[in-house]
Structure formats: structure tokens, C-alpha cells
Amino acid sequence: MKISFYGAADEVTGSCHLLTCVDANKVERHVLIDCGMFQGEQMCSTKNTQKFIFDASKLDAVCVTHPHADHTGRLPVLVKAGYTGTIYMTEPCEGLTRLVLEDAHHIMEEDAKKCGSPTIYELEDLHGVFDQTKQVSYHEQITIAPGVSVMFHDAGHVLGSAYITVEAEGKRVVFSGDIGNDDVPILPPTDPISHADIVVCESTYGHKVHEDAATRSSLLREAMVDALKQNGVLLIPAFSIERTQEVLYEMDLILRDLKTSEPIYLDSPMAIKATQLYRDFKEYLRFKSPILDEPDRDFFSFPNLHETLSTDASKQINDAPAPKIIIAGSGMMNGGRIMHHLARYLPNSSTTVLVIGYQAAGTIGRKIFEGAKQVSIYGQVVDVRASIKAIGAFSAHGDQNKLTRWLKPEDGVMPKTIFLVHGDEDAKMEFAEHLREELKTDVVIPKEGTTVEI
């Protein structure tokens, strides 16, 4: 059995891991876990245009942990490269992945025009992904080949997210995908691992401990109140899937006692569409308050929320007087409507930018988060006079404590080896040392493009 690391090894994005094993008939089988886009750069940049090291036509199965672009963004490239087999994902994941890939294709076309290179796939390749998709349920055993099976478990990261176990050659290998945070107000908790011989684990926040849920809510309330007092603008760059829905849910609760007519704009077509999917798949959600008992029975809306789906409606936000709150993508501040709001409001000292998610290296979001006094937006230098605040507890990723608990299987037998991926180098190094001490097991940080014999 071998695991090859073809993405998210030397960085956070581009998740793509290949497991090669022998089935009961001694036939070699290949299972790909995720096929993500490298983010923090243009869609048509060199890394996303590189050919796969493996032969896509020889894959036996592709399993998708969740819809985020850094886990799904190159699925159409995989189809274009000759993969004709089944792509497995949960039902909600399929709906959200369709939104993500359609949005990514639109952005990719715009980027391709700017940098003069061809798009890395066509619309027919995108459609081919869903022609080949098969929906799976949590805890359903899927036989890939004789003696080779996979199972999806709730990761508690976003709607429909999963970590995936592969059983072959008498071993159980767990691929974490992205593991959810503790006390997520709208999702079930992460399923525990019952047993694992090998774990490929994300480490995005393996070096940090988030604030608790109560602090998360109080910090958001404080930011809303401050914007009101300063007659300012609160900008919340939010990922369209999960982060936006959590923020709306918390705001709904906060506004029960914070009486204000301050307009709140959800300025992201993708987030608006994703929120509707959250409504459609509410049986997958779990709420910490009886919000479905409210008169409108809608857990993501309130009287002063304005959804600006069209471009014209988005532009009209500029005409609305402060104070106001604007929630817009992209969450890493590397594209989308948030860029126009940043260009307009970053120079104002009465503006607050509330960072609620991971900012990849190379993004404007990372530069702002690290204290840059100026950033370039659409070729223009913009002064940063706004206050920059962050709430780590809104992250959809588990922190060091959560990941450590999750890595301890219920049977009490520690995994023989844990491979750390999907994290900055300092995060992986610190987390590796912590796990070696805490779990007394082998922890490896693989390099991108390497293959490890199990």
C-alpha cells in the first residue's frame, strides 16, 4: 500500500492524495481523495495548469471530502485528463460543489483574460463531474474493488463534509479532509474515529487554540455595536459556505436583544445560493437554539438583512449611509465583491474589517491580517486605516485541542503513523511536536510529490 501526496503538502491548498493498494485478487487499485485548486494565486497560474503526475484514466475511484475549492477545484481538470469513473460525495456536498465549481469557472475565465493563458478546463468538463457523481450517505460502505472499501463520516466542517476511511490489505487509512471546529452552532459534532492504522490529517490550526463559542458571539456583538457607535462600516469577508451561514445564525440570535435598524448586507450571489441549500438540507444541520420555532422558521434571516444578488443591488450599497454591515466574499479577500468594498472603505478609520477565516499566503487578506499599511487592489494602491480584528472561533477548522482529541481512536490504539498536510510549515512543525509528545506515535510531514510505502 502506498500514499502519494500531490497537493496540500508543502502548503494549505490544493488537497489531492492518492492511495494505491492491492485488492483481494492481487490487482492494483488507485483511490484519489480530493482534487483541489491551489489558491492564493490566479486560477490560470502555473501551478493550477500543471499536468497531474498520475494517470487520471487509471483511477478506480475519486472520493470528495467537502465542496471547498481547495478540495474540489480541479475535478473538471481530472475529467478533462481522462477520468471516466465514479466521483463519490454526499448529497449536500454535490449541490454545494456545483456552486463552487461554477463560480470558480467564472473567475477562471476572467483571470485567463487578464493573464493571457487558456482556461484549464471547459464547461463540458465541469458538467462531466456531475455526470460521474454518485451520492453517498454517511457510514455507508462502498466497495471499490474486492477487498477495497471506503466510508464517509461526518467531519462537522461544512454542510455535507466528510472524513473518509479506506480499508484495504487489512489496514484502515483515514483521510481527514478538513475537520470541523468545536461547538459549531449549526452542525453536528465530528464523528469520532473508531480505529485507524494510518491518518492523513489536516493541520491548518494545529498550532492554535480558538476562542470558545461564547467569546465568538460576544466578539461579533461587540464589532456590531462598535460600528453602530462610530457611525462606521463593518466589513466581514466570509467564505460563502459555512462561515456566512454561521455569521447569519449568530446575528439572528444577537439581534433578539440588540435592537437596531442598522442595515446588514449579504453581498455574495454564491453565499445567497449556498444559504438556500443550507435551508434545503436542514435535516443535516443541528441547531443550538430553538430557532426553527421562530415565526419565520428561517434560521438565516432577520428584518434588517438585505440580500444583494444582482450587480446593481450590490452597487446600491455604496449609497446607503453608515452605519452598515457588509458580508461578502471571498473570505481570503483575493477576489469577489469584497474587493470593491475594501477599496472603498479601507482608507476610513471608522471602518472595521472582521477576519473570521484562514488567510492563505499571497492573498490580500493575509497582508491585511498581518498589518500591511497599504495593499494593491485592481492595480491601485489603497491605504489601510481601518481597524483589523479577528475571531478565530468562527473558523470552520478544528484547533489543536480538537484535532488532538479526534486523533485518539475510540479503541484506544493510537494510529501507527500520522501524516500532517494542509497547513503552513510552522503550524505543521509545532503540531507534529505536540502530537509526538501527546500521542506517543510517529508523526510525518510529507513533501509534495512524494510517495510513502505503508
Condensed to tens digits (0 to 9), the pLDDT of residues 267-307 reads 999 999 999 999 899 899 987 666 555 555 566 778 889 99
What's the pLDDT band for 357 if we cut at 50, 70, 90?
A: confident
Asked which of 374, 394, 414 is the last residue of a domain, the reply is: 394
Asked which of 379, 394, 409 is the last residue of a domain, the reply is: 394
For the ranges 13-27, 282-296, 312-326, which has the lowest average pLDDT?
282-296
Instruction: Looking at the structure, tell me whether residues 319 and 350 fall in a common domain.
Output: yes
pLDDT attached to residue 261: 83
**CATH number of the domain encompassing residue 272:** 3.40.50.10890
For the ranges 13-17, 71-75, 154-158, 227-231, which has the lowest average pLDDT?
227-231
In sequence order, what are the residues at sequence separation of 6 or more whose Cβ sits closer than 8 angstroms to the Cβ of residue 118? 44, 112
Q: What is the pTM (predicted TM-score) of this model?
A: 0.91
Q: Give the pLDDT mean for 332-351.
A: 94
Whether 259 shows a pLDDT value over 90: the answer reads no
Count Cβ neighbours within 10 Å for each residue of 387-397 and write b for 16 or more, e otherwise: bbbbbbbbbbb
Whether 67 shows a pLDDT value over 90: the answer reads yes
pLDDT attached to residue 61: 98
What is the tens place of the pLDDT at every residue in 208-222? 998 887 888 899 999
Torsion of CA 424, 425, 426, 432, to 10 degrees: 110
Written as one letter, the residue type at 270 is M
Domain extent at residue 429: 2-208+396-453
Contact, 82 vs 51, CB < 8 A? no
Contact, 330 vs 341, CB < 8 A? no
Whether 45 shows a pLDDT value over 80: the answer reads no
Contact, 294 vs 300, CB < 8 A? no
Instruction: Looking at the structure, tell me whether residues 51 and 132 fall in a common domain.
Output: yes
Q: How many domains does the chain have?
A: 2
Q: Give the pLDDT mean for 309-327.
A: 95
How far is residue 328's CA from residue 72's CA, in Å, rounded to a whole number?
Answer: 21
Instruction: Looking at the structure, tell me whether residues 364 and 402 fall in a common domain.
Output: no
pLDDT attached to residue 203: 97
Asked which of 394, 412, 434 is the last residue of a domain, the reply is: 394
Contact, 373 vs 384, CB < 8 A? yes
Q: Give the pLDDT mean for 135-154.
A: 98
pLDDT attached to residue 159: 96
Instruction: Looking at the structure, tell me whether residues 24 and 119 fall in a common domain.
Output: yes
pLDDT attached to residue 59: 98
Q: Give the pLDDT mean for 437-446.
A: 98
Q: What is the mean pLDDT of the chain?
A: 92
What is the tens place of the pLDDT at every residue in 375-421? 999 889 999 999 999 987 788 899 999 999 999 999 999 999 999 99
DSSP-H helix ranges across 255-334:
269-280, 311-315
Whether 342 shows a pLDDT value over 90: the answer reads yes
